[in-house]
Structure formats: structure tokens, C-alpha cells
Amino acid sequence: MDEGMRIVADALAARMEDTGRLTFAEFMQTALYHPDAGYYNRPTMTIGDGGDFFTSPMVHPIFGACVARQIHQFWRLLGSPEPFTVLEMGAGVGTLAADLLKTSQQDPQYYEALRYVIVEQGPRLRKKQFAHAREQGVDQKIGWVDSLEEVQAHPKLGSFVGVIVTNELFDALPVHRLQRTEDGYGEFYIEEDGEGGYREVLGELSDPALLDLLDEETKGHLDPGDRFEVCPAAGEVIESMGRLLERGFVLTVDYGDTAPDMHLRHVRGDGVRAFYRQAPAAVLEQVGAQDLTADVDFSLLMRRGEQAGLATVGYTTQMHLLGGNGLLHKVQELQQRWFDLNADAQMQKMLGLFLPHGLGDLFKVLIQGKGIDPEAVRGRISTLTFEP
């Protein structure tokens, strides 16, 4: 056990002193976000080649370029406002931000109007984001804040016109792990196993309101023994986004699905996964040194978003996002470069992001809007009109 894991273990032990156990959400929160040694704040945490996981922007810059084109279209649909704020949460090491901004320079008027803000609490990730932005020559275009609340209170931001974009944010928010029982519902807690590790124990619900996060159709399909996850933080975050946005769009890219399918495919308890050095790992091992992630319930994002004024404009896949915003044109250009091994390699990376039965279908795209007529804009959004 390295020093970071020991710090996390001590923090978990301290939190367990009173009750002897934690909800899985509390456990996951500490394992991932402990301010000094949680996974996302570890000095040794790496993303990308040789790291524990990679994201679509890291596979190829075409991802950021396509997202940039979609957001530029949003700007046009909103009447080319100035200023126009793009706010990103869960920015990783800043790859998407840099690629998006470099592509946006192709329209000087738009680039002048654009303000890019990253929400990042972790000092180490913020440092990596700044370093990457400086290396790519776009650091002067990015501002950083610690939270959505700070955006709301910011004298130059506040409630803004623009786009909130996330890529693999919601899958990393802490979840509660529940089970349908013979007489109702129970919740899984984490406790120490007496041998330096952890184990699950089933108990009563920590909060009956957790069941309100599950749609009625899913409840009707669950049998005793079936497991599922709910994420209160996801609902809170999407509602905060809706309150913050004066007029504009929320663009969410993540893996998961709508209910009831998202929940029913994980009734055997595999809805939470761990990754260590890009390989699956046991969820309760190497705590603090590995990534933990859970499928996103997009139906919850739609329902809770509507409560904050976010209308559902469209729901589709990453394949449509990329295909509708120029990826195939770039692939066709590369296909003309015969016997160019680099072109072949670039093309394969692009297609890996796009093709169905891979990342193209695995990642879903949700577009929500505020202060707009969904019916009026739906047919003018390239992501939603793309046909393979």
C-alpha cells in the first residue's frame, strides 16, 4: 500500500468510526475525491497512454474539433451572442478544451466572442490543464473556477448565455448501490473486513428519497435480488447547470443509457466498475489508486433537467455527434493518401471513435436547451440530423 492509499484508508476509517460503515456513495466520494490522495488528486494519477484510462479527446483531436463545430452551430442558433460562454466540467487534463479552442480560431468573430471556463476543484488536475493549454497556445482564453456556485457568484459570469459541455463527468459521480428485496428495498454499505480490506453488507436505505431517483418503469421490472445504482449528485449537478444557464445548451457525452434499459442490464451488480492501468479491477481493492465509474442514467438527467428549465432537445450517440460534424469528411481525405502509414493510423483512430459496436455506440449524447424552442432547433442541429 502506497502513501496515498494509506491516507485514503485512514480517511475511510475515520469516517466509519461512528457507524462502522459507509454508504457506497460516501466510500466512492472519498476514494476518488479525497483532497490530498483521492484518485483524481493523486500526484501519480495518469490519464491516457500508460495511465489507468483514456477519454475520447485523447484518442484523436478530431473529437474536440467535432465538438467545436457543434458548439459553433449552437452559437449561430442562439443568434451569435457576444459574449458567448463555454463552460466545461470534468475537463481531465484539458485535451478537449485545447482542441476545441484551436478549431474555434477558424472563425475570428466567434473566437473573439468566446469565453472558455473550466470548473475544476483539484489543484493537480488544474495544473495539468493549464500546462496543456499553454503548450497549445490557448491558455489566455481559459479561466478556471472551483465550482458552479463560484460561476454563479462571479461578477463577469453569473447566469450566462452559452453552452455547458461535459465529457465523462457524470459517470464519475458517487452512486448508492441498492437492491430489490422480498419486502421492499435495501442498500449496500461498505465496512472493514478485519483483514485490511473492505466488504459489502446489506442494510436499510440510508434515505428513502433515493427511490425517487429511480423511474417507475424500472421499479416494475425489478425482481427480489436485483441490484441497481442511483446517483443523487447527477440530479443535483444537472439542476445546477439549468439554474446557471440563462439561455443556451447543455451538451453531455458519457456512457450509460436511458431507463429502464440502463438499470436492467446491471441487475447482477456490475453497474460499478474499477479500472487500474486500463484493465478491469476489483471495486473494493486498490482503493484510492484506481478509477471507479458507473453507467449514467440519462433519463434522470432529462427529468431533473426539465425541473430546472432544461428541455430535452435530442438524445443520440457519439457516432452521430462526430458524423454530423465532419469526421467522415476527414476520413475521406485520409483515404486519398495511399501508402501513407501515418494517414492510415490517424484514420483508424478516428473510426475507433465513430464506428458502432465500439465507442461510437457506447457513448451517448444528450442535448438539452434553455430559452429555446426544442422543436424549432432540433432539425437544425447536425448531431441530430446525421444519418449514417
pLDDT of residue 155: 61
pLDDT of residue 46: 65
What is the amino acid identity at position 233? A
Name the nearest CA neighbour of 179 among 88, 268, 50.
268
More confident residue, 182 or 357: 182
Kindly indicate the confidence band of residue 333, based on its pLDDT and cuts at 50, 70 and 90. Answer: confident
Maximum mean pLDDT: which of 47-51, 193-197, 320-324 = 320-324
Q: What are the two backbone dihedrals, phi and then psi, of residue 93, each rounded to the nearest 5 degrees?
A: -100, 10
Q: CA 126 → CA 118, 138, 325, 339, 366, distances in Å?
A: 9, 15, 29, 41, 26
53-84 pLDDT per residue, tens: 779 999 999 999 999 999 999 999 999 999 99
Residue 186 CA to residue 89 CA, distance in Å, equals 32
Give the total residue count for the chain: 388
Average pLDDT estimate for 267-296: 93
SS3 225: coil
Residue 369 CA to residue 34 CA, distance in Å, equals 33
150-200 pLDDT per residue, tens: 888 776 676 799 999 999 999 999 999 999 999 999 999 999 999 999 999
Residue 377 CA to residue 315 CA, distance in Å, equals 14
Residue 176 CA to residue 368 CA, distance in Å, equals 25
100-156 pLDDT per residue, tens: 999 999 999 999 999 999 999 888 889 999 999 999 999 999 999 999 888 887 766
Domain positions in the chain: 55-174+226-385
Of 221-230, 237-246, 272-281, minimum mean pLDDT range: 272-281
Kindly indicate the confidence band of residue 45, based on its pLDDT and cuts at 50, 70 and 90. Answer: low
pLDDT of residue 49: 62
Decide: pTM greater than 0.75: yes
Maximum mean pLDDT: which of 150-164, 278-292, 345-359, 370-384 = 370-384
pLDDT of residue 115: 96
55-174+226-385: in CATH 3.20.20.80 = no
SS3 255: strand
pLDDT of residue 50: 61
pLDDT of residue 51: 65
pLDDT of residue 332: 84
Residue 337, pLDDT above cutoff 90: no
